[in-house]
Amino acid sequence: MAVTDVAADSLAALDTPCLLLDEARLTANVARMRARLAGLGVAFRPHLKTAKSLDVARRAMTGPRGPAMVSTLREAAYFAEGGVTDLTYGVGIAPQKLDRVGGIRRQYGADLAIVLDSVAQAEAVAAWVAANRDPVCAPLPVLIEVDADGHRSGVAPDDAGTLTAIGRVLVAGGAVLRGVLLHAGDSYGLSEPERIAAAAEVERAAGVAAAGHLRAAGLPCPVVSIGSTPTARFAEALDGVTEVRAGVFMFGDLFQAGIGTCATGDIVLSVLATVIGHQRAKGWIIVDAGWMALSRDRGTARQAVDQGYGIVCDPAGTPYPDLIVRDANQEHGIVALRPGSAAALPDLALGARLRILPNHACATAAQHGSYHVLDAAGRVSATWPRIAGW
């Protein structure tokens, strides 16, 4: 049988829409990133916010206990229960969440670190540590978030006063000042490798500078943690950095392909959909995957090539020429040729199966409760659960 026939037969029993995962591509993407960071002499802490799955985590991490990064405390508890105990919770801490952090550390023996970027947060942590002297869950490890590029949160890297004030509150309060953490979020708006490499150098230099201020004040700073998929992909040197975090690189998506961090053929996830109708006069094929299955993310609309709600492929994962999901309602996707295309609309019968490559892997995966895993022949070989929530 041809590859397309094997894939079609294997996918025929699945209810649609559902989420597919190409295991061979996942393995290759992880291997490339590990080799790259090893060559730059830094540790790797994969970010699991996209994956939200122990099965994926075990393939991405360098060991069964981690290290790993999470973006929700639901993820932290889930992965800690699964034996992943070297964790960083990468969202600025709210005082109300400290009891939950302590509970995860106590229940699972997890080394769960938190991040913050203000004296007020540091004071809340110090107060919590003073009230929770349980040696299992305290002292609490903390990283100071540093602003690499004005994208979001963090202390300015040259603001020695704030950095040292935060550090002194933490140390005096009995917390563990573990180091600094940065995220070059503006790198997602770039597309030329040399500009992303320059952003990576800005991120690296900011982290090293912030660490230098802490150390000059006699404060500990063993960890300098940076990370984004684009800067991890294109950084040329990481002197002074101890670890790199990245997550979406595992799966790739059309947005990442648009900025050059992966190729379309590297994309791991796709949404399986079924043809449910035609509007032939309009050149439309209607499928049962709307924005509830694909997400509302239209990030590629701001790029040189607008991919609509996703590129449409045959059951083996080969894209049809210029065929995209042009529009989406809650449970309906409108498949049509890209505007201006001279390609022929494929003749897809009612009930035919299609695969749709996502704009944003994180957002699309979040719409689904599991991955249907494809082997090298395109057959469904396993189902991996994934979690949701906060």
Reduced to 3 states (helix: H, G, I; strand: E, B; else coil), residue 217 is coil
pLDDT of residue 222: 98
Which one-letter amino acid corresponds to residue 291?
W
> What is the domain class of 3-20+260-385 according to CATH?
mainly beta
- Percent of the chain past pLDDT 90, that is, above it, reads 85
State the pLDDT confidence band at 9, using cuts at 50, 70 and 90: confident
Examine the pLDDT at 258 and tell me if it is beyond 90: yes
Q: What is the pLDDT of residues 353-362, one digit of tens each?
A: 999 999 999 9
Of the chain, the percentage scoring pLDDT greater than 70 comes to: 97
Confidence class of residue 326 from pLDDT cuts 50, 70 and 90? very high
Average pLDDT over residues 238-247: 96
Distant-in-sequence, close-in-space partners of 38: CB < 8 Å, separation ≥ 6: 44
pLDDT for position 379: 93
Topology of 24-248 in CATH?
TIM Barrel (3.20.20)
Confidence (pLDDT) at 324: 97
Distance from chain centroid for Cα 52: 9
pLDDT, position 148 = 85
pLDDT at 269 over 60: yes
In the predicted structure, residue 189 carries a pLDDT above the cut 80? no
pLDDT at 383 over 90: yes
User: What is the pTM for the complete model shown?
Assistant: 0.93
Tokens 């996703």 locate to 310
Q: How confident is the model at residue 185 (pLDDT cuts 50, 70, 90)?
A: confident
Domain ranges of the chain: 3-20+260-385, 24-248
Spatial distance between the Cα atoms of 50 and 363, rounded to a whole number of angstroms: 8
Q: How many CA atoms lie within 13 A of 73 on its CB side?
A: 16
Please tell me the predicted confidence (pLDDT) of residue 386. 97
